[in-house]
Amino acid sequence: MSACGGSSDAGASPTETRAATASAAATMPTEGARSYTEQALALLTELAAASESVAAVMEEADIESSSWREAATSRLETLRGLHSQAIALDPDAQVEPVHEHLVAATRGSESAARLLDEAIHSRNIDKASEAAAALGEAVYALAEARALLEELQRG
């Protein structure tokens, strides 16, 4: 399992992505690269807040409570929407490796959301625990993506 979204097909490794980011940062960033970086960082801020919100609801998991299930489902929809926004970002060629890493990281959040949705519908607490672990991995990958983008922004 890689740190990028928890799957082995998540694209370039963090080391490869860092090398590509360093290379991109070493050249004068294009307007497209700057714009992408700003958009992606704003999206990551929203993703962090949404992930924290899901994690908070998971701490008080009551799979039998309809109000808890509704609250969790609402937060999951936010995560899914943010994943769709990440995919829809249009990266400049200069930042394509960073974009691949961002999409892989958001895919991890989306996978955790899918697992939690399954847990809610099946009322399976073990599946909810699996979702919480997947969310933890996704949060790590999102932090890594943020570090890459901040490095690019400083470049």
Question: In the prediction, which pLDDT does 92 show?
Answer: 86
How many C-alpha atoms does 106 have within 13 Å on its Cβ side?
26
Torsion of CA 75, 101, 90, 76, to 10 degrees: -10
pLDDT in tens, 56-109: 888 887 888 889 889 888 988 898 899 899 999 999 888 898 899 899 988 988
Tell which phi-psi region holds residue 62, choosing left (phi > 0), alpha (psi between -120 and 50) or beta: beta
Secondary structure in 3-state letters for 132-148: HHHHHHHHHHHHHHHHH
Task: Spell out the residues 6+ positions from residue 96 whose beta carbon is closer than 8 angstroms to its own.
Answer: none
3-state secondary structure of 69: helix
Both ends of the chain: CA-CA distance in Å?
Answer: 30
Domain spans of the chain, in order of start? 14-154
Average confidence score pLDDT of the chain:
82
pTM (2 decimals)?
A: 0.75
Find how far residue 137's CA is from the centre of its chain.
Answer: 9
